[in-house]
Amino acid sequence: MMVLLKHRRYMTALLSSTTILLLLYFQNYLLVLTYGSSGFISKKVLCACSICVTDRENSIWFSERYDPNIPLLLNSTNSVLRANVSRWWKELQIVPNAGNYTEVVDQLFPLFPDKEHYSDAGPDRCRTCAVVGNSGNLLGSNYGPLIDFHNFVMRINKGPTEGYEKDVGSKTTHRIVYPESAMDLDNSTHLVLFPFKILDMQWLISAFTTKNITQTYTEVPSTIKANKDKVMILHPEFIRYVYDNWAEGHGLYPSTGFLTLIFALHICDEVNVFGFGATSDGIWHHYFEKILTSYENSIHAGQFENETINRLQQENKILMHKGWT
């Protein structure tokens, strides 16, 4: 009887000290049932990182803005635009002789990958991402090795790595561009086009085929070196979603950096942000040039975007690395 009693106590102690009692696997998450003083408690495990950015249960502010069902990247099956999105997007950057959107999309996907990208989220994945802006606060930061340690390193526009490796790293998995900011890429880097007009998509096609588009609202390269099998195109509906949900209608449309950061929230499990904001003395300039820049202009609501980025850090959705802190 004493042996049996001891055995019962041992089993009770084992039960109360065991955190995970039942694991239920679903398509994109793991349901963990834990046992505590108040009984069984269930919690979704969305990724293998210690904190998952897509966890909407720990921030009401975040959950009110984040839409996991928004289309991220364009393909032939999700390309039809809702009327209000189509009207808004086509008026962002008006240029003469704009093409027909449907006809342009029909030309895109025989040429570039036509698939659903980044649908692999789940409890076994911990994808770490570095979103690297172009702020002068990167200079002297020695962030290079830390940036390169991430699974994905997203760079914006023409921010160079050569000569700045110590501070900005050398790895690039995704280069965010539009025609006016395009540059040559190596064969392993994804070219991610952020299209602000139909002509941007036409330019992309032309850059890999006829090379006959050299002008938008300014001169653009007729062609670029890039791997066409790694080309991706941001969905116009995603741009509108960021404008509505995250920029809350401020400015005419979101900046490329802000779009990139919100894009990262949707394809990554952990997001670290580098090269955003001013230098320690409050100056806004790119790390690769001395020309002063401004985060507030007639197109983008830089101040509101900056406040939103700071709020994302407060809500533990991103970690900002400012170089001087």
Do the beta carbons of residue 309 and residue 257 sit within 8 Å? no
Question: What is residue 277's predicted lDDT score, i.e. its pLDDT?
Answer: 87
Do the beta carbons of residue 101 and residue 81 sit within 8 Å? yes
Percent of the chain with pLDDT over 70: 84
Of the residues 150, 235, 266, 300, only one is catalytic, namely 300
300 classed as catalytic: yes
Q: What mean pLDDT is predicted for residues 193-213?
A: 97
| Closest to 176 (Cα-Cα) out of 296, 107, 264 | 264
- Say whether 285 counts as a known binding-site residue: no
- How does DSSP classify residue 81? P
* Lookup: tokens for 158: 């023409």
- Say whether 134 counts as a known binding-site residue: yes
| Closest to 148 (Cα-Cα) out of 126, 137, 164, 125 | 164
The set of residues, in sequence order, having a beta carbon less than 8 Å from that of 87 and lying 6+ positions away, is none
Q: How many CB atoms lie within 10 A of CB 176?
A: 24
Q: What mean pLDDT is predicted for residues 179-197?
A: 97
Do the beta carbons of residue 79 and residue 40 sit within 8 Å? no
Domains and CATH numbers, the chain: 2-45 (no CATH), 60-321 (3.90.1480.20)
Q: What mean pLDDT is predicted for residues 255-266?
A: 97
- The least confident of 16-20, 105-109, 129-133, 213-217 is 16-20
Question: What is residue 34's predicted lDDT score, i.e. its pLDDT?
Answer: 52
**Residue 56's pLDDT band (boundaries 50, 70, 90)?**
confident
- How does DSSP classify residue 82? P
* Lookup: tokens for 42: 């269930």
Do the beta carbons of residue 118 and residue 267 sit within 8 Å? yes
- Say whether 101 counts as a known binding-site residue: no
- Say whether 93 counts as a known binding-site residue: yes
Q: Give the C-alpha distances (Å, rounded to integers) separating 99 from 56, 94, 96, 312.
A: 40, 11, 9, 38
Give, in degrees to the nearest 5, the angle at Cα 205 between 188 and 216. 110
Q: What is the pTM of this model?
A: 0.87
Distance of CA 273 to the CA centre of its chain: 10
- State pLDDT tens for residues 263-282: 999 999 999 999 998 788 88
- Say whether 306 counts as a known binding-site residue: no
**Residue 305's pLDDT band (boundaries 50, 70, 90)?**
very high
Of the residues 174, 253, 266, 287, only one is catalytic, namely 253
- Say whether 286 counts as a known binding-site residue: yes
- Say whether 300 counts as a known binding-site residue: yes
- State pLDDT tens for residues 159-182: 999 999 999 999 999 999 999 999
Q: Is the pLDDT of residue 259 over 50?
A: yes
**Residue 296's pLDDT band (boundaries 50, 70, 90)?**
low
7 classed as catalytic: no
Give, in degrees to the nearest 5, the angle at Cα 200 between 237 and 119. 40
**Residue 15's pLDDT band (boundaries 50, 70, 90)?**
very low
Q: What mean pLDDT is predicted for residues 42-52?
A: 81
Q: What mean pLDDT is predicted for residues 227-237?
A: 98
* Lookup: tokens for 228: 């066409």
